Amino acid sequence: MKKPISDYHIHTPLCNHASGEPAEYCEQAIKMGLEEIGFSDHAPLVAYEDPNVTMQHDQLPDYYKMMEMVKNEFNDRLRIKIGIEADFIPGYEARTKKILDDYPYDFVIGSVHFIDDWAFDNPDIVQSWSDKDVDQVYINYYEMLRQSAATGLFNIMGHVDLVKKFKHRPGRDLSDEIEKTAKVFKDSGVAVEINTAGLRKPAQEMYPAARDLAIYCVAGVPLTFGSDAHTPDEVGKDFDKAIELARSVGYTEYALFKQREIERVVKID
Ligand code: ZN
Ligand code: FE
Ligand code: FE
Ligand code: ZN
């Protein structure tokens, strides 16, 4: 089975927790046999600035310039799309929209990294889970995902079961939550990604789990692939497993984006 030709979840050092120059990520992509990559570094959190989590607001022009430069540099060797990964912070939709509309991105990944103000995926505060009702965390997380998709701000929803990162598992079957979420994704016209970074985390599995991905597939939600690379060597990582996961739940194609729309689909053979 041919591996995915595209990796749409790649960071840059501007977020201060990734390393390596964009050109190094591109070289690795070529080495991995990819035809296309999309950078998607962390957009500023609109409610406040945290320079160790995302780029700063005044770095957005640098980000876009850096992307255009690397795109030119690799012109005939690799197709490069310019994306960005952003959070939906309730109450800040207009400011988020403004940031995302400032540049002609090819796609925007919508990610939920916060429930209220709680950075549930931050390894530095993993003990903060200890007094939480895990089932309720999952339910709140899926509610946030649905709200995010429904804003219309995003094209691809990122790592759609990130709550499992540290291996906290719900005590009951939450398929009803996933089904509701899949319906909202479909109605909102967003795609879902297979994100291989989960394999490198305590969860030890891709985002989302196969059972969830099957539900998104049945609902007709388009698919993309991402490594969530924060170092060059992670580009395209575990994409053999990712394509196998996609195929095993019934996906027959995945999407490439341009100017915030599906440009074309690639068949999974
Ligand atoms: Zn990151
Ligand atoms: Fe993320
Ligand atoms: Fe990311
Ligand atoms: Zn991410």
Let me know if residue 168 belongs to a domain.
Answer: yes
Let me know if residue 247 belongs to a domain.
Answer: yes
Let me know if residue 1 belongs to a domain.
Answer: no
Let me know if residue 23 belongs to a domain.
Answer: yes
pLDDT one-digit tens code per residue, 77-94: 999 999 999 999 999 999
Positive or negative: CA dihedral 36, 113, 149, 269: positive
Residues 6+ apart with CB under 8 A from 117: none
pLDDT one-digit tens code per residue, 176-207: 999 999 999 999 999 999 999 999 999 999 99
Domain hosting 55: range is 6-267
Let me know if residue 250 belongs to a domain.
Answer: yes
Distance between CA atoms of residues 14 and 140, nearest Å = 30
User: Which element (helix H / strand E) includes 42?
Assistant: strand 36-42
Count CA within 13 A, CB hemisphere, residue 22.
Answer: 26
Residue 230 Cα to ligand 4 middle (Å): 9
Residue 60 Cα to ligand 2 middle (Å): 18
In the 8-state DSSP scheme, what is residue 162?
A: G
Residue 182 Cα to ligand 1 middle (Å): 25
- 124 and 166 Cβ atoms separated by less than 8 Å: no
Residue 159 Cα to ligand 2 middle (Å): 7
Residue 156 Cα to ligand 4 middle (Å): 11
Residue 112 Cα to ligand 4 middle (Å): 9
Distance between CA atoms of residues 229 and 239, nearest Å = 12
Beta strands in 127-177 (DSSP E): 156-157
Q: What is the CATH number of the domain that holds 164?
A: 3.20.20.140
The answer for 175, left when phi > 0, alpha when psi is -120 to 50, beta otherwise, is alpha
pLDDT one-digit tens code per residue, 91-124: 999 999 999 999 999 999 999 999 999 999 999 9
Let me know if residue 132 belongs to a domain.
Answer: yes
Let me know if residue 192 belongs to a domain.
Answer: yes
Let me know if residue 53 belongs to a domain.
Answer: yes
Residue 110 Cα to ligand 3 middle (Å): 10
Q: Look at residue 138 in the predicted model and tell me its pLDDT.
A: 98
**Number of folded domains that form the chain:** 1
User: Which element (helix H / strand E) includes 79?
Assistant: strand 79-87
Count CA within 13 A, CB hemisphere, residue 55.
Answer: 20
Q: Look at residue 52 in the predicted model and tell me its pLDDT.
A: 84
Average pLDDT score over residue span 54-62: 95
